[in-house]
Amino acid sequence: MRQDPRLIVVGSIGLDTVRTPRDSRTDVLGGSVSYACAAAAGFVKTGMVGVVGTDFPREGRSLFRKLGIDMRGLQTAEGATFRWSGVYAKNMNNRKTLKTELNVFRSFQPRLPPSYRRAPFVFLANIAPALQLHVLGQMERRPDFVMADTMDLWIRIANADLRTLVAQVDLLTVNESEAHHFTGQRNLIRAARILRDMGPRYILVKRGEHGSVLFSEDGILLMPAYPLEDVVDPTGAGDSFAGGLMGRLAAGGRVSTDAIARAMLYGSVVASFNVEAFSLERLGALSPAAIEERASLFRRMCRIR
């Protein structure tokens, strides 16, 4: 019998065309689910929930299978797979979207297989909040821990649905501009307090190359990004961070501020591997030993004597 996933990830799966100052790639594997599942699967049995078109390359499924990702929640619809193309500035922090083609993702309705409806950990990657709520409505019981991501678009056009969702999750992750936009507060501490008052026990603010900040009843925790000399492609860094975090947390089973802090460290480490190559080239070949070696080094970097 196949092992049931302890973590399920819901979001987009796509084919990306990316140009950075280093190089470029065309129609490579991308999407929030691809990155998050690849990052999480090294820690815990992970199930993916998404949709691809009939043009989705066989190599993509083979990589998911090699990584041990459960694909029972992967739908295939007639038509073309979601596509995104973009170009990064020289600083690798700013990027310009050149084209977004929703294709089969436009009519995506997440369907959870029976084994997914009992998963204790859920990561709702960045999709419409109505779809995120639809996923939670299919769960047989309240999951032990739900993390949700969002974006400025949903804050702007689906605010009511987003507020309903936020009240039902344990951890909401946003970047600084989204926190400001959602709350109307320029001060990040005040913004986080308002977001916590909406329901989540934890607010995780992503700060790109500057790491992340966790807000909870236990106070504020700062997690730096793992320092790298050479970045090849930043695409998927946030989703691989979230996937690594959730994978590590689900593997441990117990949820606390300290457990989330440890999981954030692993998320930063996995994300650092991800940006060293295009697409899932680095995550697809990543070993648990390599993760532990870099995590150990990162712990030594973060220690204050």
Could you report the per-residue pLDDT of 64-74, keeping only the tens digit for each?
999 999 999 99
Could you report the per-residue pLDDT of 25-71, keeping only the tens digit for each?
999 999 999 999 999 999 999 999 999 999 999 999 999 999 999 99
Percentage of residues in the chain having pLDDT higher than 90: 94
Question: Treating both helix axes as pointing N-terminal to C-terminal, what angle do 257-274 and 237-252 enclose, rounded to 10 degrees?
Answer: 140
Q: What is the pLDDT of residue 253?
A: 85
Q: What is the pLDDT of residue 305?
A: 56
Tell me, rounded to whole angstroms, the distance of Cα 298 from its chain centroid: 21
Full set of structural domains in the chain with CATH: 7-302 (3.40.1190.20)
Would you say residue 3 has pLDDT above 80? yes
Q: How confident is the model at residue 257 (pLDDT cuts 50, 70, 90)?
A: very high
Look up residue 45 and give its DSSP letter: -
Could you report the per-residue pLDDT of 265-295, keeping only the tens digit for each?
999 999 999 999 999 999 999 999 999 999 9
The answer to whether the CB of 32 falls within 8 A of the CB of 70 is no
Q: What is the pLDDT of residue 304?
A: 62
Using alpha carbons, select from 112, 164, 154, 108 the residue that is nearest to residue 7.
112
Could you report the per-residue pLDDT of 73-90, keeping only the tens digit for each?
999 999 999 999 999 999
Rounded mean pLDDT of 8-37?
97
| Token couple for 39 | 């990052």
Please state the pTM of the whole predicted model. Answer: 0.96
| Token couple for 300 | 């030594």
Virtual torsion, Cα 3, 7, 10, 12, nearest 10 deg: -80
Calpha distance 269→232 (Å, rounded): 16
Rounded (5°) CA angle 17-18-22: 145
Mean pLDDT rounded to a whole number for the chain: 95
Q: What is the pLDDT of residue 77?
A: 98
Q: What is the pLDDT of residue 208?
A: 86
- Bridge partners (DSSP) of residue 88 are 95
Q: How confident is the model at residue 215 (pLDDT cuts 50, 70, 90)?
A: very high
Could you report the per-residue pLDDT of 118-155, keeping only the tens digit for each?
999 999 999 999 999 999 999 999 999 999 999 999 99
- Bridge partners (DSSP) of residue 15 are 29, 83
